[in-house]
Amino acid sequence: MTIQFIDLKAQLARIKPQMHSAILAAVDAGQYIMGPQVAEFEKQLSAFSGARHTVSCANGTDALALPLLAWGVGPGDAVFCPSFTYVATAEILPWCGASAVFVDIRPDTYNMDPASLEAAIEGVKREGKLRPAVVIAVDLFGQPADYPSISSVAKKHGLKLISDSAQGFGCTLQGKHPIQWADAVTTSFFPAKPLGCYGDGGAVQTNDSALAEVMDSLRVHGKATRKDVEAAKFEHDPKYLNHRIGMNSRLDTLQAAVLLEKLKIFPSEIEARMRIARRYNEGLEGVVSQVPSLIHGAVSVWAQYTIEVPDRSGLAAHLKDKGVPTAVYYPVPIHKQSAYKHFPAGAGGLAVTEAKADRVISLPMHPYLDEATQDEIIEAIRAHNRRK
Ligand SMILES: *Cc1c(COP(=O)(O)O)cnc(C)c1O
């Protein structure tokens, strides 16, 4: 049997009858856009993480754009985000005309370094060209960013805080979800994410009712909100009263039906991910240059299990030989990508980001990785190191 990097079929095997009937029920009911499953899923996702509102949308990239558009972030605004992340974290900034300012990461967690954030904000203020507006922290590889420190830096400078939790949705710090610190938490339901659907999907959570209402409007072409209609005395469908420039970004009813089934088993999957990661750490500590470490008090959802080695390509080739798939997240940091080169690095520099990009490699990771397969992977890595 070949080893899967992420085994979605094993997950389906666990819940196949329920999943098939949930999908068929949605097909039979025929409410393909904004059917009742969408509102039900939003309600359950809010309950899951203790957020007051969930606004689902078409993908995790739109989820990041929605709060920025709702806040009116635009030209002249600086948005501080890591460069060591998936490109979508920064991609939405030029969409709205804002400028990305890249912030370095911590060498142990790969997440935003609060000291580098502080330096970047001070630098932008000193220079006086851009207005510091928003911080986007990323829960890279599944673990929460240092929200207590990051949110206090953001508050001190009067900036909004977004948690890009596309890889980390479900993670907690001291038992609390990122929504306890962030103005908006965004996630993606891309199939390979810890909570994924069978296509594209995304969501934004917030405790701010006014923000939720505007984002709900924006995802349906800027349709009038209840408040807008009250003010305008409009007797037609409020969908046709378009108060703001929006977009088309809804979660499909079918995907909501899929997610309702997956949400039921998500807590047990998070436990399995924690157990499997701990076992990897025990088997690889001292064998590779660095095994992952979590910020104190964190539960990670382990979107990736990422180690560091000196000869990454050698290890990848050796593992491929043994039938073990690997991946590199991320080989080129965003500030080194041609389309993003003109955005400034923060005053703290990006030394850690650049060093890590050459060393990281991710191993198979999913809740259904059995011990025998995991031992095979660990043994293959040990064997490679013995050869040298
Ligand atoms: C996957 C991902 C996104 C984007 O999600 P899509 O649903 O693919 O648009 C954003 N940020 C991070 C960190 C991601 O990993």
Q: Cβ of 83: how many Cβ atoms within 10 Å? A: 28
Atom nearest to 89 CA in ligand 1: 11
Write down all domains in the chain, each with its CATH number in brackets. 8-263 (3.40.640.10), 266-387 (3.90.1150.10)
Please tell me if the CB atom of residue 37 comes closer than 6 angstroms to any atom of ligand 1: no
Q: Is 168 in the pocket of ligand 1 (CB under 6 A)?
A: no
Atom in ligand 1 nearest the alpha carbon of residue 201: 7
- Give the distance (Å) from ligand 1 centre to CA of residue 64: 9
Q: How remote is the CA of residue 102 from the centroid of ligand 1, in Å?
A: 17
Q: Taking the chain, what is the end-to-end CA distance rounded to the nearest angstrom?
A: 28
Give nearest CA residue, ligand 1 atom 1.
Answer: 166
Residue 273 has pLDDT above 90, yes or no: yes
For residue 4, how far is its CA from the centre of ligand 1 (angstroms)?
Answer: 21
In this predicted structure, what is the pLDDT of residue 250? 98
Would you state the pLDDT for residue 351? 97
- pLDDT tens-digit series, residues 280-307: 999 999 999 999 999 999 999 999 999 9
pLDDT of residue 388: 60
- 3-class DSSP state of 40: helix
Which residue's CA is minimally distant from atom 6 of ligand 1?
A: 60
Taking residues 170-189, what's their average pLDDT? Answer: 98
Predicted pLDDT of residue 354: 96
Report yes or no on whether pTM surpasses 0.95: yes
Segment 172-193 mean pLDDT: 98
Query: Vertex 141, ends 135 and 142: CA angle to 5°?
Result: 80
Average pLDDT in the 238-255 region?
A: 92
Rounded to whole angstroms, the Cα distance separating 308 from 326 reads: 12
> What pLDDT is attached to residue 86?
97
Residue 136 Cβ inside 6 Å of ligand 1? The answer reads: no
Tokens 């088993």 — which residue?
A: 265
pLDDT of residue 385: 82
Nearest CA among 142, 20, 23 for reference residue 85: 142
Mutate to test the pocket of ligand 1, among 57, 89, 185, 204 (most ligand atoms within 8 A of CB): 89
Decide whether any atom of ligand 1 lies within 6 Å of the 61 Cβ.
yes
Atom 5 of ligand 1: nearest residue by CA position:
60
- SS3 label, residue 206: strand
User: What ligand 1 atom has the least distance to the C-alpha of 139?
Assistant: 13
Q: Which atom of ligand 1 is nearest to the CA of 303?
A: 15
Q: How far is the CA of 233 from the centre of ligand 1 (A)?
A: 39
Q: What is the DSSP-derived secondary structure letter of residue 58?
A: S
pLDDT band per the 50, 70, 90 thresholds, residue 183: very high
For residue 62, CA distances in Å to 53, 247, 252 come to 17, 9, 14
Pick from 83, 78, 149, 84: which is nearest to 118 by CA?
149
Q: Which residues of 38-74 are buried (b: 16+ CB within 10 A; e: fewer)?
A: beebbeebbebbebebbbbbbbbbbbbbbbbbbbebe
* CA–CA distance, 114 with 149 (Å, rounded to integer): 6
DSSP annotation of 143 reads: P
Q: Which atom of ligand 1 is nearest to the CA of 202?
A: 7
* 186 phi, psi to nearest 5 deg: -115, 150
Q: Across residues 349-368, what is the average pLDDT?
A: 96
Residue 255 Cβ inside 6 Å of ligand 1? The answer reads: no
User: What atom of ligand 1 comes closest to residue 140's alpha carbon?
Assistant: 13
At 78 the three-state DSSP class reads strand
Atom 10 of ligand 1: nearest residue by CA position: 88
The residue assigned the tokens 């955005």 is 343
**How far away, in angstroms, is 129 Cα from ligand 1 center?**
29
Out of 167, 187, 204, give the residue to mutate to test ligand 1, the one with the largest number of ligand atoms within 8 Å of its CB.
167
* Exposure class string for 205-214: b at 16+ Cβ within 10 A, else e: bbbbeebbbb
- Rounded Cα distance between 352 and 42, Å, is 38
Percent of residues, the chain, with pLDDT higher than 90: 92
| Mean pLDDT of the 237-252 span | 90
Q: What is the pLDDT of residue 243?
A: 84
Q: Ligand 1 centre from 137 Cα, in Å? A: 13
According to DSSP, residue 295 is labeled P
More confident residue, 269 or 235: 269
**Tokens standing for residue 144:** 């929460």
Rg of the chain on CA atoms, in Å: 21
pLDDT of 131 strictly over 90? yes
How many other CB atoms are there within 10 angstroms of residue 280's CB atom?
23
Q: Say if residue 272 is exposed, middle or buried (CB neighbours under 10 Å; 0-12, 13-18, 19+).
A: middle
Q: Which atom of ligand 1 is nearest to the CA of 188?
A: 7
What value does the mean pLDDT take over residues 119-123?
97
The DSSP 8-state label assigned to residue 159 in this structure reads -
Predicted local confidence at residue 232, as pLDDT: 76
| Prior bond of 330 cis (ω within 30°) | yes
Ligand 1, residue 167: give the atom nearest the CA.
15
In the Cβ-directed half-sphere of 7, how many Cα atoms lie within 13 Å?
20
Residue with CA at minimum distance from ligand 1 atom 2: 166
The band of 233, judged by pLDDT with boundaries at 50, 70 and 90, is confident
205 membership: H or E segment, kind and range: strand 202-206
- Non-local (6+) Cβ contacts of 284 within 8 A are 291, 307, 378, 381
6-31 pLDDT per residue, tens: 999 999 999 999 999 999 999 999 99
Contacts of 313 (CB under 8 A, 6+ apart): none
| pLDDT value, residue 226 | 83
Measure 187 CA to ligand 1 centroid, in angstroms: 7
pLDDT at 1: 63
| 51-63 pLDDT, tens digit each | 999 999 999 999 9
| pLDDT score at 241 | 85
Q: How many helices (H) and strands (E) does the chain have?
A: 12, 11
Interhelix angle for 312-321 vs 371-387, to 10°? Answer: 130
State the closest ligand 1 atom to the C-alpha of 85, by its place in the atom list counted from 1.
Answer: 13
Mean pLDDT of the region 77-87: 98
Residue 97 has a pLDDT of 96
